[in-house]
Amino acid sequence: MADYVVEFGKDTPPLPDGRLDAAAFHRNHVPIWAVLERFLAGQSGDVLEAGSGTGQHVIFFARQSPDIVWWPSDFNDNHLKSIAAWRAHAGLDNVRPPLSIDLSDPAWPSAMREAGGPRDLAAIFCANVIHIAPWRVAEGLFAGAGSGLRADGWLLLYGPFKRDGKHTALSNAVFDTSLRAQDAEWGVRDVGDLERLAAGAGLVLREIVEMPANNLILAFRRQRADDVSA
């Protein structure tokens, strides 16, 4: 079953402390971590999760990577509350309180730093956000990654994507139609369009990893100023 999520975190009622549970998390967190851990191997420092939703992913990832400091974020109040509740429930030293970040504002890294957030990110992970949001959210995500990531830092995107303007599966095409019917500004994004955003922000697509249920992980790397390789 595809792990598409629109009515997010409403699969079950919230727990009394505000924790939300997303069914997709239970299907996708293990395969996602199997890929992320390869990109984060040997890394320390700060990693931002953009659009954390319930907060379940960040808690699971933090348990697997005690040398990394994880910063969850979202801009929806119920989601921020859920993330804070999952954090309190887990009691992990390496998960910071959720940051309120609106990715559609390309200056979000400045706002993040002013709010006491990290100054220099080793990576940004963002799952299932940019197709359920207007295009300006993708624009803001990449623009911010260009200024928020350290040189050689990774922007890791998970979700359904088109390749060469075409859907990779019929189920993705159906999902895309349903998204656009709900909001004309939503829709499954094309890898080529994202590569163009990346180029404008000083990032390069280094790897595409095929994932279960016709999803992909796109791994973009911020170029160093002296890096001439593509």
Ligand X SMILES: C[S@@+](CC[C@H](N)C(=O)[O-])C[C@H]1O[C@@H](n2cnc3c(N)ncnc32)[C@H](O)[C@@H]1O
Give the residue at shortest CB distance from ligand X.
53
The answer to whether the CB of 54 falls within 8 A of the CB of 79 is yes
Quick one: tokens of 48?
A: 């931002």
- What distance in Å separates the CA atoms of residue 173 and residue 40, rounded to the nearest whole number? 32
Pick the closer one to ligand X by CB: 8 or 175: 8
What 3-state DSSP class applies to 168? coil
- What distance in Å separates the CA atoms of residue 11 and residue 24, rounded to the nearest whole number? 9
Give the interface with ligand X as residue ranges (CB under 6 A): 5, 8, 22, 24-25, 51-53, 57, 74-76, 79, 101-104, 127-129, 132-133, 137
Pick the closer one to ligand X by CB: 5 or 68: 5
Instruction: Name the CA dihedral angle for 119, 108, 71, 97, rounded to a multiple of 10 degrees.
Output: 110
Nearest distance in Å: CB 228, ligand X? 33
Pick the closer one to ligand X by CB: 5 or 95: 5
Nearest distance in Å: CB 85, ligand X? 14
Pick the closer one to ligand X by CB: 79 or 221: 79
Task: Specify the residue for token string 């990779």.
Answer: 168
Nearest distance in Å: CB 190, ligand X? 19
Nearest distance in Å: CB 58, ligand X? 9
Pick the closer one to ligand X by CB: 85 or 223: 85
CA distances from 151 to 123, 185, 204, 220 (A): 10, 32, 12, 12
Pick the closer one to ligand X by CB: 51 or 160: 51
Pick the closer one to ligand X by CB: 138 or 198: 138
Q: Cβ of 208: how many Cβ atoms within 10 Å?
A: 13
Nearest distance in Å: CB 222, ligand X? 20
Nearest distance in Å: CB 91, ligand X? 21
- C-alpha 155, offset from chain centre: 8
Nearest distance in Å: CB 44, ligand X? 23
- Positive or negative: CA dihedral 100, 205, 139, 129: negative
Task: Specify the residue for token string 């088109």.
Answer: 162
The answer to whether the CB of 99 falls within 8 A of the CB of 69 is no
